[in-house]
Amino acid sequence: MTPTLFDGWYVALAAACVGILMPVAIRARSLGYDEPGGVQKLHHAATSRLGGVIVVIGSFVVLGAARSVGDADVGSAVPLALAALPVVLAGLAEDLTGGVRPRYRMIAAVVSAAFASFYAGGVIPRLDIPPVDSLLTQPWIALPLTWFMVAGSCNAINLIDGAHGLASGTAMIMFGGIALAAGWSGDAKTLAEAGTIMGLLAGFLAWNYPRGRVFLGDAGAYFVGFMYAQLAIRLVARNDAISAWYVIMLAAYPICDTLFAMYRRGAVRRRPLMAPDRLHLHTLIFRRVALPIARRTAHPDRVRANARVAPRLWLHGLLCLAVAIVLQKNTPALWLGIAGYVIFYLYRYRLLVRSRRQSEQLWAGIERRRSVDRSTAS
């Protein structure tokens, strides 16, 4: 089956299914509501975290419809969706109770990755580094590395899920990159699978952005991260002309944010790597860019300020997409592209940190002048 624009019925079905079912999650007020006031929370009102559950349900509806009409391209994702259930259930337990430790959620991600490896062929085929690729022929090396990377992808999407539309919009850009590469390569199955996830995310995004009426939750974030890792593996395995680093370039923003958070917490602040903090890039943008803009208006609105965060970081995703497309077959150039994005990320982060110091110095100077004026007047 050759991928064409007319093969996308599953995209429309996925978006419609999620969009129609999402009010069920919004109205489930006794379950999975996220109260404001936490360390990483930017919202101001209790909001349902069950949006991701609707996304998962929507995926099974689309897969069931595909099997019923004999569409093998979409139906090929059934084993992956089933393999995702352990990490989705762990995330759902966290959404409902708030008491599941990060280590247990990561264990669930590894279990899902193991199921995908054994029942859906989800094993990293190559990294386009000859010495490493020769080692990947050994299952005792390829399997642990695959499971580590899949768990890391789940965690990366979950960490950027902190502002309205941020995780879902960024993920749509990433899956769009997979869909484009699959379409150019004639890989109908990966194109259909990536398109389905994009449809699911579009249906969710309509409710999540800009007002944040429902959240993706841990269940949804882990599901999206898991599916990205698995489709990235499939794209690289089926298309030798595409560099393995293409899919890493697509995900450079969440990967960089995750690794920098680990460094910041472990090496700089001497805290547990999984301990939440308010120092993610999206949090700094909210506190030091979006909120000050809102406070200059006659009627400051935190919801509107929250909505200003995601578009700024969608640009990061689009930048990574553009670099990946241009350099898709050139592994060394992609290394340079990833290094360039890391420098850009750290530069933006440093600017935001310095903006706080400058504002603090400004206010300190103002207070000193006021105290001098008061003492002179007396």
103-115, pLDDT tens digit by residue?
A: 999 999 999 999 9
Mean pLDDT for the stretch of residues 17-40:
73
Cβ distance 36 to 46 under 8 Å?
A: yes
Separation of alpha carbons 24 and 117, rounded Å: 34
pLDDT value for 271: 82
Instruction: Tell me the Ramachandran region of residue 128: left when phi exceeds 0, alpha when psi lies from -120 to 50, beta otherwise.
Output: left
Query: In this predicted structure, which of 37-41, 53-57, 92-96, 122-126 has the lowest mean pLDDT?
Result: 37-41
Q: Residue 38: pLDDT above 60?
A: no
Structure confidence at residue 350 (pLDDT): 92
User: What CA–CA distances, in Å, run from 186 to 9, 46, 119, 192?
Assistant: 18, 45, 24, 11
Residue 373 has pLDDT above 70, yes or no: no
Average pLDDT (116-145) is: 95
What is the per-residue pLDDT across 234-291, written as a single tens digit (0 to 9) for each?
999 999 999 999 999 999 999 999 999 999 988 888 887 777 778 899 999 998 898 8
pLDDT tens-digit map of 57-66: 999 999 988 8
pLDDT at 248: 98
pLDDT class for 377, splitting at 50, 70, 90? low
Distances from the Cα of 7 to the Cαs of 73, 89, 186, 208, 341, in angstroms?
10, 31, 13, 27, 34
**Average per-residue pLDDT for the chain:** 87
Please write the tens of the pLDDT for every residue from 328-349.
Answer: 999 999 999 999 999 999 999 9
Under 8 Å between Cβ of 52 and 157: no
Which pLDDT score, from 0 to 100, does residue 77 have?
87
302 pLDDT band, cuts 50/70/90, is confident
Q: Which of 36-40, 295-299, 307-311 has the lowest mean pLDDT?
A: 36-40
Supply the pLDDT for residue 347: 95
* Domain spans of the chain, in order of start: 5-364
- Taking each helix axis from N to C end, the angle separating 85-97 and 102-119, rounded to the nearest 10 degrees, works out to 160
Element (H, E) at 300: none
pLDDT value, residue 71: 77
Q: What is the percent of the chain with per-residue pLDDT over 90, rounded to a whole number?
A: 66
Neighbours of 112 (CB within 10 A): 30
pLDDT at 309 over 70: yes
Phi-psi region of 70 (alpha: psi -120 to 50; beta: other; left: phi over 0): left
- If one compares 159 and 5, the residue with the highest pLDDT of the two is 159
Q: What is the pLDDT of residue 277?
A: 76
**Residue 39 pLDDT more than 70?**
no
How sure is the predictor about 378, in pLDDT bands with cuts at 50, 70 and 90?
Answer: low
